[in-house]
Structure 1
Amino acid sequence: MKDKEVSAKAGIYELKMPKMGESITEGTIINWLVNEGDTFEEGDIILEVATDKVDNEVPAPASGTLKKTMFQAKDVVPVGEVIAILEVSGEVKSSKKESPAQNKSKAPAKQKKVERPKPTPQHSVSTTNSFSVSNSNTFFSPLIISIAKEQHISFEELARIPATGHEGRLRKSDLFQYIEDGRPYKFAQPVTQDPTAYRIPQLTFDKGKGKVVEMDRMRQMIADHMVYSKHTSPHVTAYVEADLTNMVNWRNANKVAFQEKYGERLTFTPLFVEAVAKAVKDFPNINASVDGNSIIVKEDVNIGMATALPSGNLIVPVVKNADTKDLKTLASNVNELAGKARENKLAGDDIKGSTFTISNVGTFGSVMGTPIINQPEVAILALGIIKKRAEVIETEKGDEIAIRSMMYLSLSFDHRVVDGFLGGSFVRRVADYFEQFDINREI
């Protein structure tokens, strides 16, 4: 069923920031493709807009002239805000029939033909089996990665597609045009003067037969986010083990009294969050994100907790300003967020603003894990199962064997900005706080 169309006569038209999904409240202007004073035809792309979920091209609603832009590139603009003043020469028709986010995998609206540069073959090797990288900007937006995944297009093939976006950025229209042209570089091999150099093998796998289960929307988003994170950040993982015997004994001795006094369950999670927040304050550069060639060291310490939903999908609710809260408040926040997650009642604000994430893989019985960084953060900590083991400990009588509660900690970090010294020192400091837990602490 089509929605009712809204028409406007020729004249001044206010172009507004479009809504690109039910949960999207703002968008970032990537760049303007039409400058002030320039004319355009109906369907021409006026600008490119990005959100945390999709990138989208905003087409001209009618032929006309761009009179004034209200915002610049990289500005974040609320949905519905006027972003440009157009002088249109024809009738404008708009419809809310389908949001751009819902239509991300379909071909874009008909627009003015853009001449795309064709990569030229190097040396005497035919373009049917060789290529040179056409788009030097090897950053691909989540939307481009999502479409490429649907079409089974690898990153190597994406790098061969001629790009017309700002600073060599590959646009959605470039990708669709490449697909429409029959993917001419699908089986191309990189050009090299060294015949012994490694070449990407062209492998065909037998995926087998069985029940086909379509990914739901959240699973698709998780998949895209994980691929994007591995593509963006060079992951390195550091491991330590910690003796949690004091913490385990204290928690077991005080959990009943804690609940009676505060009305909150005392799990290990708030104790973990407390220790991690202290370590983050000791090593603030681990609490950061990357913006081009700059590092943004965050002022707030917001600890994300990777949590499994009833559907099996993963979500990351956030304990805000964890470094400023006492154990009672941390327990209350953790219990509230965990309860909302179990009941699928997490609000948008509950999952925003994380600056560092922990993933308690021990709850699933895993000894340790190698977690993938939650972008745009630069590190993530996995906590393994707490397991009793016979360990050699030093006592007044000398070395003795005792039963201790041990845990492996593994920190995956972005080696672009976190080196081994920082990553190793941070995860060791977390383990130290676990081991040095005060067994006489008052609740």
Structure 2
Amino acid sequence: MQNDTICALATKTGGALGIIRISGAQTHEILSHIFTHDLTKAQANSIVYGHIVNHDEVIDEVLVSVFRAPHSYTGEESAEISCHGSQYIINKVIELLVAQGCRIAQPGEYTQRAYLNGKLDLSQAEAVADLIAANNKATHHLAMSQLRGGISNELSKLREQLLRLTSLLELELDFSDHEDLEFADRTELLQLAQHIESHIQKLATSFQMGQAIKQGIPVAIVGKTNVGKSTLLNKLLKEERAIVSDIHGTTRDTIEDVMTINGVQFRFIDTAGIRQTNDAVEQIGIERTYQTIDKARIVLWLIDATPSQEEFEDMMNHINNKALILVCNKSDQQAITLSEDASRFPQIAVSAKFGINIEALESLIYEAAQIPEIKESDIIITNARHYEALLHAQNNLSRVIAGLNNQLSGDLIAEDLRLVLSDLAEITGQGQITPNEVLGNIFQHFCIGK
């Protein structure tokens, strides 16, 4: 199947234009049979104007982009047909391609071929899906960083350091019986292992922020019943997302939706009002409110009167170390004076009903998220598979460090090092360090004789 020439529609249906992608060794020969020009002689990276024809019938007026291996997305001979978006035209062109020997591509097969042909590693291939799904500036930058090899380059540097560590161990194992040889002592090995572990830990720690940015930073809107939580949610989202009523206990479950602030996606969750109640269903909603607080990164505590000491202590028991913002609602009616304990948290007066100070609240929410300025050069882990592999690598490297501290045999330490390399290789699909690489590194960088 890898040798087949494949074709598929690369754009959504229903638009004014459609792009049909073809990839494989016979791309230009097959396409030349249904095109008014011989593409086997077309220059690489050129665009050819002509018509798709079926015998004497003209199907469409098109542009064909020509790509030559290995300088294409898949690394193979490739072409892209830009035709009109008519469903009939698209189906007919694909039908003609299949009749000439193409096979309909399987889902993700173009990116799979790009990986198999060395155009992308695994982390870059995964970034393609993230880039397509990106719906804000921050997630776009993270996906572009990964697609351009940001994570791959970072792991490549770690691999080089692990190669040095492995080489030092091999040197110790293979030449330790020769007194006239010089190689690094355990102190240098330990320092190098600790430096690598610190770097892996930094990457793993970034996953929490990466996940929040990718999925939307969770913001819980909490408070008593009828304080205006649903009204605030609707005002933030600029749509009637939640039911607003003067009846207490209207919201009995969480309601959530997303919006973007300064290029970052936030996930706002409206919760059931907190109060004493005998209603079993409402009580379940209140329990879910506390569960939402546990999962949130930011808590908006909406109040319309000075909280009692009991209410304040109850909130403190649930927010832990999360960012808390006190939102004093109904500012069009009254001003709220906070207690000394409550006033140490960020606070803002708003009117959810009339939209007063909502933009200032959005700015306060963005500040509370403490999001670093995301650049395409930043390395932030967003993929759970990468995170798990880094945790395994960190665990195995901890055993390396423990082995060095406990003066274990070099062959035992080397086994844990191989596990670290295997864990990192899972992220990019890059091969493990080979014996030839180790040997070359020894002779290139170390003095092994006097």
Normalised TM-score (structure 1) = 0.28
Q: Which is richer in helix?
A: 2
Which structure ranks higher in relative contact order (CA pairs < 8 Å, sequence separation ≥ 6)? 2
Q: Which is richer in strand?
A: 1
Higher-Rg member (1/2): 2
